[in-house]
Homo-oligomer: A and B are copies of this chain.
């Protein structure tokens, strides 16, 4: 299958995704011209994210449909962390010679399903040969004004730290995928799905943005590292109480079976794609109600203080400084 056939097949597969009603932008020219032409809202948020075979996934353990899904979801998680409404996606594929048409269809289905599920139109892309499969995704979100978006850099001393949903599931799912010897927890399927097909918290992100979030980031590198990113960008100190962090069901069992400290899965695992935000204490109840209305929980897990760095307080009362998680060391 040549490039144009493959593009045509992939375009056909993602076309069903369409422009979502919640998109703030209007697509004037979609896929197939030199560039996609859109009429955006007043402000756009744009983020890029790449998945590379052998680095971020292995085809032996990750079905191609989930690879397509995750590429879109991981990119959109950054828009969720700004509080932007999802708009358009652009997908650059590097395709190895051992990916056949059936594989391309599976990949395309995952891309299309994730785009449709999250209200995104795939309006451009590029397919090229490559020695391994890679997906480089660009997503554009919209907002009516800059004030409605939330950066990492405005957390204030006195704020509370909150997190959506539950953590640790993606890291536990990865352990289950990599080690078939682990006794399967009752929640094994949920945990593997959390790793393979995460859900970006777009609605929760907009709820937080419009209910007082002073800073926000998605938990993609790991809770400790992402808290540190916010602390550094905002010039504050963040203290997280790990005992208060909601842990996904089955994570403790998987950690136990694997002989891994569960704290590592919860605080360092990353890829849960939940949102970590800061709020004035007076905004907490309103934000919680707004986030819960999107079907996701919101939990207070720490405090913002003057100073620098980020700490995690463990069950035994000890505190440890967090450091950034470095993907290039993977």
Restricting to A116-155, which residues have a CB under 8 Å from any CB of B? 123-132, 134, 136, 138, 140-141, 146, 149, 151-153
Interface size on A, as a range, is 35 or more
A49–B56 CA distance with the chains assembled, in angstroms: 21
Question: Chain B residues with Cβ under 8 A from A328's Cβ?
Answer: 1-3, 6, 95, 127-129
Say if the beta carbon of A18 comes within 8 Å of chain B: no
Mask of A15-37 contacts with B, CB within 8 angstroms, 1/0: 00000000000001100111111
CA distance A38 to B42 in the complex (A): 9
A35-B136 contact given A129-B52, A328-B6, CB 8 Å threshold: no
Beta-carbon contact of B130 and A34 below 8 Å: no
Write out the residue numbers on chain B whose beta carbons fall within 8 Å of the beta carbon of A79: 34-35
**A56 → B minimal CB distance (Å):** 7
A309 on interface, CB distance cutoff 8 Å: no
How many identical chains are in the complex? 2
Do A43 and B38 form a contact, CB below 8 Å, given A55-B128, A94-B134, A130-B55?
yes
Q: Is A223's beta carbon under 8 Å from chain B?
A: no
Known contacts A54-B131, A151-B29; is-contact A4 B324 (Cβ 8 Å): yes
Q: Are B37 and A82 in contact (CB under 8 A)?
A: yes
Query: Which residues 246-262 in A have Cβ within 8 Å of B in the complex?
Result: none
List, sorted by A's number, 6 A–B pairs whose CB atoms are closer than 8 Å. Answer: A34-B79, A35-B45, A39-B42, A46-B124, A47-B124, A130-B134
